[in-house]
Amino acid sequence: MAISNGNFVCYWYEGNLKTSQWDKQTQVMFLPDNPSANLTEEDLEMLNPEVAIINRRGEIQPLIEMFQKQWVDIYALRKGVSAHINIMQEEYELYLKREES
């Protein structure tokens, strides 16, 4: 699933991409639980994200290494932390927020 305002694209990755259906550069990519089983280097190169937000559950080291090879900034979330994105026209701000208990 992708969310876009025309200039900014945020992509929620849940499985393999159909290369013929995607032609946009992605600023922020979110990967839900255990995405490393499905994400391929081809998908990552096609999306070409600036930032990746991943849930820190299970083994994520191979995923981190894949993002590092592509020079993607990584934010690994854990329980009690959420990512927030403020979208302007052509720019965005991303910050993490710890939930109060």
Residue with tokens 């305002």: 5
Sequence ranges of the domains in the chain = 2-98
CATH T-level assignment (fold) for domain 2-98: Rossmann fold (3.40.50)
Element (H, E) at 47: helix 41-47
Question: Could you tell me the two tokens for 65?
Answer: 């290494």
**pLDDT category, 69, cuts 50, 70, 90?**
very high
Instruction: Please report where in the chains the tokens 């981190």 appear, as a residue.
Output: 64
CB 99 within 8 Å of CB 82: yes
Task: Please state the pTM of the whole predicted model.
Answer: 0.76
Beta-carbon contacts of 1 under 8 Å, excluding residues fewer than 6 positions away, are 11, 12, 14
Q: What is the pLDDT of residues 7-32, one digit of tens each?
A: 777 776 766 666 556 667 788 888 87
Residue 1's pLDDT is what?
60
pLDDT, mean of residues 69-98: 83
Mean pLDDT (the chain, rounded): 78
